[in-house]
Amino acid sequence: MEPTIVTWALIVFGLITLTPLTYIYLIFLRSPHSPEAKDLMNGKGKDWRDETHFRLNLGFAWTDFLFFLPLFVSGSVGSLLGQAWGYMLFGAAGGCSLYINIILWFTEKEYVYPTLGPLRYFTYFWGFFVYWGALALAYSALRVSGIEF
């Protein structure tokens, strides 16, 4: 199961999508109540909607570092090594991304979409996570099934 150009493209797309979020979450986890963390998580000068909004984002940050990021990194390494377990972990990371971002589509759209507009919202602020997740999950399932492209 040698990695293909598609494998490399999906890993690079994942890195481009996840690196800024990982940086923001790192600052947020280091000092969750700091003005810098609030500005990065909500937008400059914007406040948390309520305590639940703050705690939900804190939970996302911890879950990403403890669960999602290790899946993505180990899945990427395993995929580049041509191992079936790598594609399975990579697909699991894609499934996680797809799952949570579909939930966020319904819970956050009314707050985020109006301030960003359609281009930014359907690319980095929401879309890339869904697009990458769906592609990584589908591609990994195909690779584990023995389909090469």
Dump pLDDT digits (tens) for 124-148. Answer: 888 999 999 999 999 999 999 999 8
- Tokens coding 61: 């940050």
Give domain limits for the chain: 5-144
Please name which of 68, 82, 84 lies closest in space to residue 129, comparing C-alpha atoms: 68
- Could you give the angle at the alpha carbon of 69 between the alpha carbons of 33 and 48, nearest 5°? 25
Is the pLDDT at 4 greater than 90? The verdict is yes
Q: How far is CA 144 from the centre of its chain?
A: 22
pLDDT one-digit tens code per residue, 7-64? 999 999 999 999 999 999 999 999 999 999 998 888 888 889 999 999 999 999 999 9
Gap between the terminal Cα atoms of the chain? 11
- Tokens coding 99: 């799952």
Is the pLDDT at 114 greater than 80? The verdict is yes
